[in-house]
Amino acid sequence: QVQLVESGGGLVQPGGSLRLSCAASGNIFNIGVMGWYRQAPGKQRELVAGISRAGNTNYADSVKGRFTISRDNAKNTVYLQMNSLKPEDTAVYYCYVDREIRTWGQGTQVTVSS
């Protein structure tokens, strides 16, 4: 079983930056894709970004050019650097890890507001 611990959420003004981290522990042998989803109030959960073990990435169109996903395989940790944040980025951000099944983190709140 894989456990995920997220950190880095908070309140930031429009145009600001935040960095989310998600560390995996437990049965972490041969972890595959890691990434982030988000869910805003009243909306469905949507993919933000994902990264393979080899470093291949994919992004939602709405965050391309502003968000950067990265991972440290030695630390089993995935990061999401979020720049030029907008109010519409406000959501609970969930990290995930794909191994035999998908495991989700507990979620971290990101609020973009002046």
Q: Return the pLDDT at 68.
A: 98
Encode pLDDT of 47-70 as tens digits. Answer: 999 999 999 999 999 999 999 999
For the chain, strand residue ranges (E) read 2-7, 10-12, 18-26, 34-39, 46-51, 57-59, 67-72, 77-82, 91-98, 102-104, 108-112
Q: Return the pLDDT at 63.
A: 98
